[in-house]
Amino acid sequence: MEFEVVIGLEVHAQLNTKTKIFCSCPTSFGDEPNTNVCEVCLGLPGALPVLNKEAVKKAIALGTAINATINRKSIFNRKNYFYPDLPKGYQISQFEIPIVEAGEIYIDFEDGTKKRIGVTRA
């Protein structure tokens, strides 16, 4: 019996946008602690997020670069967790319908071979 090893990676990236992904708070580095936060950042009840258009543009650029499907509709879900380092108690995820899905990256090796790396969602 033969087995094929399949390894999945979950990679997180910090985009170089001027504001956060779900609010207009700045992402500037070196400011005093707790100065770049708002009701949305803190996850306060009734505070509704607004998606950063620049982040969407960067996601579409990535999708184009990796020959992915760029969905015209995208769904964000709130996943509730209890972790000591997650004070809001939730994370926002794009599991069902992400902005970008089904892409691929090719790696060229010195011996002339190529390896395809699939990207499920981005």
Give tens-digit pLDDT for 4-20.
998 888 888 888 899 99
Task: Please provide residue 119's backbone torsions phi and psi, each rounded to the nearest 5 degrees.
Answer: -115, 110
Range of the domain at 33: 1-122
- Of the candidates 35, 38, 37, the residue with the CA atom closest to the CA atom of residue 47: 38
Distances (CA, A) of 48 to 6, 38, 86, 96, 122: 39, 11, 19, 20, 23
Q: Looking at residue 78, what is its pLDDT?
A: 84
Q: Looking at residue 56, what is its pLDDT?
A: 93
- Looking at every residue in the chain, the average pLDDT score rounds to 90
Sheet with 100-108, edge to edge strand ranges: 69-70, 100-108, 114-121
Q: How confident is the model at residue 83 (pLDDT cuts 50, 70, 90)?
A: confident
- Of the candidates 48, 47, 102, 93, the residue with the CA atom closest to the CA atom of residue 74: 93
Structural domain tally of the chain?
Answer: 1
Rounded CA gap, 20 and 51, in Å? Answer: 9
Q: Looking at residue 45, what is its pLDDT?
A: 86
- 52-77 pLDDT, tens digit per residue, is 999 999 999 999 999 999 999 999 88
Rounded CA gap, 45 and 42, in Å? Answer: 9
The pLDDT of residue 101 is above 90: yes
